[in-house]
Chains A and B, each alone.
Chain A
């Protein structure tokens, strides 16, 4: 591995095995300072395991990870001091108040005295919990807990923030607030490593995206570079009034169909040109006595890329 101290996060040939389970297999990342980098992939793709290794929670079975040149295995304390981690699950002390939580976690990041109190006040303002700072966290709504969960990671003004699916299971309003806060942090100069299985979030937030599946990076680049992988293919989503199996085999033979995936009663197709392929699909369905109840044609996007590369929809 050629160590590049200018990179915010660098991984080389990162592997993690849990016995016979190979969670991560040879992940290489190079994240520049000041960028928002998204790790996109379905559940179980290995995103959380990868960031657990980068943040020093898990020891890689093989390979290396560095934070601004500090090895997370050889110099973990220095590396950890540079990052703030927002875990996927809310990790707070419910029986303490929001302020008590922030004070405690601030101390864990080495803050003391007035500097700590001042920073806690700033964070409380930033996450909009100043008026609820003395309330016990267990009484907070899900959105408030999520914001506090993020606030803790920002206490020590880290150069890098690692966020592991911070928008899972929350309402659209809180989700919007979180996405806005990520962009705000980035504007302030922070590097953000963001994992998600929501294509729209990766597309909105990131300049660079790595798509992960089965423990490997299967594609990486800017949004435009990734979309270019699928070329001019159109993506069609169809809903049928019958089992997909009744038309699946016939449709795979239709000229222009490149890929078909069935999921949750929907069919996802990658085709050369939707204008020419769609009539053929309707005709084939009619012959099988199956009615197409809805059709949606999409421009190529990250979802299309994932379908093209894996043969599966991203939300599998």
Chain B
């Protein structure tokens, strides 16, 4: 039994295209992410960073190789099983927050608990606990439309952490925020993930933010290179 929460072995991803060759986005990627570890993923636009996160989350199925999440083979699982694995082990943070505008702040945080059918009272208490942690408890009943960008991303962090995932995948979590707010959000993301004992894999274009990870990986033309250690 390995202590790695995520393992990718020779993972390839080729998008079908008009020409017979197709477009290879990931090319034989091997990686292992230990529990509690924070890793930054950097690379140019179009280098395959988001695709790698999608593959890790079971959202996309690689055309080659194997992905293991918490000891389960994602690539050998059907769509339903991948959904359940994602629900159980992964928290997602997006660059554009992706909050549901018709729900309140607290309700947005609680959505993963509703989906999983968790105990209602405990979900609410957990949402409040996280909102308190990011300083938004008093905004719990507000519509998310009234929040600033930084506040929205903090709500998205709470949502990702609601069910205590073993792995948080964050796709440019500060990409839509100004530098200062971005730093604050990154602080929260790192500290909260560590407090919760989860691993973190985040995509960023910022060398400064990447440097705050335990390790850094660089994707170049679909191939993974070890970056600078933090």
Is chain B found bound to chain A in the same assembly? no
State the B residues within 8 Å of A (CB): none
State the A residues within 8 Å of B (CB): none
